[in-house]
Amino acid sequence: NAGVTQTPKFQVLKTGQSMTLQCAQDMNHNSMYWYRQDPGMGLRLIYYSASEGTTDKGEVPNGYNVSRLNKREFSLRLESAAPSQTSVYFCASSNNRDSIYEQYFGPGTRLTVT
């Protein structure tokens, strides 16, 4: 099992450009999440999908959109990138296993917006 995979690993964008971050999991998990991590800020939830076909806003959704394409894939789109979106983005997935909601994280995408 590959677990959670993310592409790309690194990306540099100019202000105003758009891009989509891809995430896929092969663990048959129902729930998937997108976080951003900034120095000293911990992990902040952008959007999540509790199950296939549903998505909900997290703490910092402005400037982002998501698509739960199927059970495996959950993508994050930046329509018009801004320097404030420079961050490390992590995708995660989880399932309810014996009431344990352990989240499995991907390796991250390091995004710089200039």
DSSP line for 14-51 = -TT--EEEEEEESS--SEEEEEEEETTTEEEEEEEESS
Closer CB to another protein, 13 or 106, in the complex: 106
Single-letter amino acid, residue 3: G
Q: Is 76 in the site for another protein (CB under 8 A)?
A: no
Contact 13, 19 (CB under 8 A): yes
Closer CB to another protein, 4 or 81, in the complex: 4
Which one among 70, 102, 112, 114 touches another protein, defined by CB under 8 A?
102
Distance CA 92, CA 102 (A): 10
Which one among 58, 63, 71, 75 touches another protein, defined by CB under 8 A?
58
Q: In the Cβ-directed half-sphere of 67, how many Cα atoms lie within 13 Å?
A: 8
Number of residues that bind another protein (CB under 8 A): 26
Which one among 25, 85, 87, 94 touches another protein, defined by CB under 8 A?
94
Distance CA 79, CA 16 (A): 8
Site for another protein in 14-53 (CB under 8 A): 31, 33, 35, 40-45, 48, 50
Which residue ranges make up the site for another protein (CB under 8 A)?
31, 33, 35, 40-45, 48, 50, 58, 90, 92, 94, 96, 99-108
